[in-house]
Amino acid sequence: MHSNGVPAPNPNPGDVYLVFDSETETHQSHKRKANPFHPLNYVVMRGWKKQGDTRASMEYFKGKTKDNYLRIPDDVTVLVGHNIKFDLLYEMCNDNPDLKAFYKRGGRVWCTQYGYYLVNAQSQRSQMAAMDNIIEEYGGRKKIDGIKALWEAGYLTSQIDPALLEDYLIGTEDEGRNSGDIGNTELIYLGQIKEAEDLNMTAAIKARMDGLCATTEMEFNGVKIDTARAKADLILRTAEFNEAEAGLQEYIKHIPDEVGFSWGSNVHISCLLYGGTIRYQKQTTYLDEATGQLARLKATARWPLFGGEPVDVSKCVPETLDGVETGYLYCPGPESRKQDTYLSGKKKGDGKFKNVDVPGELKVKYQDFFYELPGYTKPDSDWKGKLTDGMGKPVYGTGSDIIAILANRDVPFLKLMGKWQALSKEIGTYYVRYDTKKKMYVGMLTCVQKEDHIVHHSLNHTSTVTTRLSANNPNMQNIPTGQKSDVKAVFISRFENGVMGELDYSQLEVVVQGLLSGDVNLIRDLNLKIDFHCKRVSLKNSVSYEFALFHCKNEDAPDYAKWNAERRNCKSFSFERAYGAGANSISEKNGIPLDDVKEMIEAEEKEYPGVVKFNADVEKEVNATSEPFRDADRGWRVYRRGTWQSPTGTLYSWRSWDAPAFMRSKGITDTFSPPELKNYPVQGTGGEIVQMILGFLWRWFVKNDNFNGRALLVNTVHDCVWADMQPDIVDTVIPGMKKIMQAVPQLLKHLFNIDCPVPFPVDAEVGPNMLSLKHYSH
């Protein structure tokens, strides 16, 4: 709809769109603002506009009712909203029958927040973009700020004047009720449809929007938590954490207590690891600038008078007569004097005193002090962060990934610190602890509903540079593996004797490399189902693949321990290479000699030259498309941004960084990061494929009404999908999901006319919880 009230042209012939948005009650719980699962929250006002309407419509509700749901006309094919997941969850919590019918007949959604993120190549400014931050780009106006101010002041939506809310939602009467959230969303949608067409991204975005529906379904279903097991495990993890922390204290006994060393401070750990100066504060005396003497508080003292002059009471002694104190003072000296007394009046005979200004207690204030630490090892220049130590020198990274690299150096407390960090993260993410900085409890158990022990996690589509999902409250994208933690045991089925299922793509990064690069040898190996870790052992050691496979995996083979260790090294190498790591990083992190790593890289590049060419082509395109920009965070220095477009149409962007010293000596000031150039296409395309497949899985579940409520999609973790099922439906659901997930070649051909030369194998496991999964075969 144009701002003049004339119906907008149909952006997609055959489609009919309905823009909608909801202003809801704003009670917060379980780490969600305006939580749709909160019993007191409901849609207070809903606005909508169907394609062809000249004005937006709205409805106001004075309370929560079951029929308070969005009506969706039968001819509508697309629902449009900004951050539409929020509004869809409210409709799902209200059991909207129109929404179910809409999905059943093939209805789609378009989220303008997600669309903006994709057409802008996942740049920082496009992530989680608020409508007000982008509407002017599409010819609209920012909404009035009064409503936001009322929310920030603590008003519930139901306490706001409905007339103000109406203006906010659908625009004022002067604007023809064709602005506000509804009008702005329509403008953005129409603009994005054109942008997507111009960028050849329409098919990819539509498929991703179905993936968004899938993750919305997963959030709505949530995951059941075994709270009894979680509480018992928390006691054990906390004891382990305290033991690790006590052990760490042994390594800082030489640091004075007043320094306040904290294992939770990146600055402190950086100084301890690499050397540096900790700045701390303590109260101490100081000089008065006016007097040059130590500053003191003001004070008065009651001094006795002698001859009309006050004398320091400390220089006086009690007068005695025959060994008995008379009650007077006298000032001893060459001319001993007796204290002046009153000669008349009520105080006759009493000693005279006068209040005199005297030096008070020494003043103290917090002042900076510095404690220098020598360090144990030298940091890599790539680890330099934005923070500085007490003397203004750089602070270097101390995260778990860097600690893993340092594990092979002779630093005495690293193993214990790695354990401490892992436990701290695990407890604070999947259990519960009190965060002293945030002054609140954090962790998954704070998000679990008491009534049904379900956690409705948040899966975010617009927060990464690669289009992969992120997650929070809790982070269900980074759950520790069973080798590192038992936390997966708390994720259980909600059904009686129910079954959890996990379907996982095998070696997805390598498969995607084969798809993108078209390397003949890699494609051959993928189709032959080669064990790539054994293949790398064969390349590194100049032995046949058959020899490596036998000796690495057969415990009865000669020198099995030696060859199995070789495979483990190559497995670590494979993982790091898939994400673009360089030789030095791989060597440091995995303890593999640098020369061995270089030999492995050389052998791999010789075996798979198509991958090398693909990486070079990406780098060439990024440089060719790069344009300068000024970075406010780096002194407004000039850097560059470049892009590369994948075969599906998805656009990726990179920013350049300061060039290393050897390049600066040649006059090159900035360069794109080689690991990022290699990583984004592989990680991004893998994530895109999973999200598209999620959409197809979701459609299958919708078609079957979640198998009459007996099976639910509940989570996705990068390369895998979780399902929660009643036991009698497992043999229908798992094979069906596996078939859909393996149909990536058909999907790519259908949506993008891409001939996919590689298979996408999927492993399936089932069990009573996510830790006790066993291989599924049927």
761 is written with which tokens? 């194998």
**In what helix (H) or strand (E) does residue 419 lie, and over which residues does it extend?**
helix 414-430
Contact 20, 79 (CB under 8 A): yes
Average pLDDT for 557-568: 88
Give residue 622's pLDDT. Answer: 97
Local confidence band at 13 (pLDDT 50, 70, 90 cut-offs): low
Contact 741, 476 (CB under 8 A): no
pLDDT in tens, 187-214: 999 999 999 999 999 999 999 999 999 9
Compute φ and ψ for 150, nearest 5 degrees.
Answer: -65, -45
Tell which CATH classification among 3.40.50.1220, 3.30.70.370, 3.40.47.10, 1.10.3720.10 matches the domain 489-508+683-775. 3.30.70.370
Contact 214, 103 (CB under 8 A): no
Mean pLDDT of the chain: 91
Give residue 550's pLDDT. Answer: 92
pLDDT of 458 higher than 70 = yes
| More reliable by pLDDT, 766 or 338 | 766
Domain segments of the chain as ranges: 17-198, 227-285+367-452, 296-362, 489-508+683-775, 520-607
Give residue 336's pLDDT. Answer: 64
pLDDT in tens, 670-688: 999 998 999 999 999 999 9
| More reliable by pLDDT, 665 or 46 | 46
Give residue 317's pLDDT. Answer: 86
Average pLDDT for 41-51: 97
The Cα-based distances of 493 to 442, 452, 486, 698 in angstroms read 24, 12, 16, 19
d(CA 542, CA 540): 6
pLDDT of 11 higher than 60 = no
Compute φ and ψ for 393, nearest 5 degrees.
Answer: -85, 155
Range from 143-152, 243-252, 359-368 carrying the lowest mean pLDDT: 143-152
Range from 202-216, 275-289, 687-701, 727-741 carrying the lowest mean pLDDT: 275-289
The percent of residues in the chain predicted with pLDDT above 90, rounded, is 70
- Is there a shared CATH topology between the 17-198 domain and the 489-508+683-775 domain? no
Closest CA to 473 of 504, 429, 413, 521: 429
Give residue 5's pLDDT. Answer: 41
Local confidence band at 578 (pLDDT 50, 70, 90 cut-offs): low
Give residue 8's pLDDT. Answer: 47
3-state SS of 110-147 is EEHHHHHHHHCCCCHHHCCCCHHHHHHHHCCCCCCCHH
Local confidence band at 2 (pLDDT 50, 70, 90 cut-offs): very low
- Give the number of other CB atoms < 10 A from CB of residue 561: 9
Q: Which fold has domain 17-198?
A: Nucleotidyltransferase; domain 5 (3.30.420)
Give residue 449's pLDDT. Answer: 95
Give residue 1's pLDDT. Answer: 35
Contact 325, 319 (CB under 8 A): yes
Using the CB atoms, write b or e for 70-89: b if 16+ within 10 Å: bebeeebbbbbbbbbbbbbb
pLDDT in tens, 94-147: 999 999 999 999 999 999 999 999 999 999 999 999 999 999 999 988 877 788
Q: Which residues contact 206 (CB under 8 A, 6 or more apart)?
A: 108
Average pLDDT for 310-334: 82
pLDDT of 19 higher than 80 = yes
pLDDT of 4 higher than 50 = no
**In what helix (H) or strand (E) does residue 354 lie, and over which residues does it extend?**
strand 353-362
Q: DSSP letter string over 2-13? A: -TTSPPPPPSST
Average pLDDT for 744-766: 97
pLDDT in tens, 267-306: 999 999 999 999 999 999 999 988 889 999 999 999 999 8
pLDDT of 313 higher than 90 = no
- Give the number of other CB atoms < 10 A from CB of residue 593: 10
d(CA 72, CA 51): 12
d(CA 449, CA 221): 12
